[in-house]
Structures are given as C-alpha cells and as structure tokens.
Amino acid sequence: MKTSVLVVVDIQTDFCAGGRLAVPDAESILPVVNGLVATFERVVLTQDWHPPGHVSFASSHPGRRVGDRLALPFGEQLLWPDHCLAGTAGAAFHPDLRLPADALVVRKGVHPHGDAYSAFFENDRTTPVGLEAMLRSLGATEIVLAGLATDYCVLQTALDGRRLGYEVTVVESACRGIDAQGTCATAWRQMAEVGVRRG
C-alpha cells in the first residue's frame, strides 16, 4: 500500500510578489496548493532558512553580482540576492498558504558555507538536509511535490527523491519557475528522464 506525502516547497514571502527573489506568478499556485493540502493526511513544508553572509548571496562575494557563477568546493554556485534570512519576514511562509497544525517543516540552506536546493541533500549531494528522515518516520513510499521554484528547488528535490527510490509526482499547476533561458523546459526533461511523473 502506498503512503503518499505532500511536500510543499519554499512558498515563502521572499519568493512571492514584492519579495527579494520573487518567482514570476508565484501567488497563482496558492489555491491549487491549498487544495492539495486539504486532501493529504501527511504534509511536509520546506523552508529556505539562510544565515547572514550565506554563500549563495552575491553580497557575500565582493566584486560579484547576482547571476554570477562561482566555483566552490561542492561545485558551481549561482549567486542570488540576499533572501530568506532566518527569522525574518522574508523567510516566513506566505500568509495565504494553508498550514496544517501537524505539518512538518524542513529548513534548508542553514549552513553559511553550503547551499541546498534539494530538501534531501545540500548541493554537495551528500550532506542530509532532513526530508529523508522525515519520510522514513512517516513510512512514505511516494511524494507529491508542489511549490517554488520548478527549475531549482522542486527539480532537485524531485531528482533526489527518485535517486532514493521514492515514487515522485510533480503537480505542474501547483508549481512556478524562474524560467531564465528555458530552464523550466530543461527541468521537466530532466525529471522525465528519471521517471518523475508530471501531474
């Protein structure tokens, strides 16, 4: 018997309109996501939770700008505006997101020298973030993904989920991407190649 868990990725104010790293049209998914939340017994929310001076911030690298790519020990890092600073309003979940009382929360990007798009592993691909332990505790065999952004955190969480043996469905109408230079199309292709279902 399948045990399905809804994983809602990074629906935080900094990723929505007026935020420091707003994903285009992000708020339009909220009714769909809230509808999904209402149908699942088990819900996990992921939350970017960065310390000041985080390695992903362009401001942490003098002379670098947002959009630059930097070679780091764990691989290439794309530099972003300062966003989702731990404990700030920008890191909070969007106020219109339905939050079940028993929802679990995975915080990622919490270490100053390591970024984490995936809720399973940091970008070094080995350091656990916390989602796997939660799913094991829930007896999950399948995850359904919704949230932001399709081409970054949703993508990497989906890929890692498949790598770990979970059945994975990404609900297209419940996601939005940054989609710079066709990155969403590339993301969907990558997910299809490893057996992620497009719901």
Which are the catalytic amino acids? 10, 108, 153
Sheet holding 104-108, edge to edge: 104-108, 43-48, 4-9, 142-148, 167-176, 197-198
d(CA 126, CA 67): 25
Residues near 92 by beta carbon (within 8 Å), at least 6 away in sequence: 12, 13
Q: What is the DSSP letter of 128?
A: B
Q: How many CA atoms lie within 13 A of 133 on its CB side?
A: 9
Phi, psi of 167, rounded to the nearest 5 degrees:
-75, 135
Phi, psi of 185, rounded to the nearest 5 degrees:
-60, -40
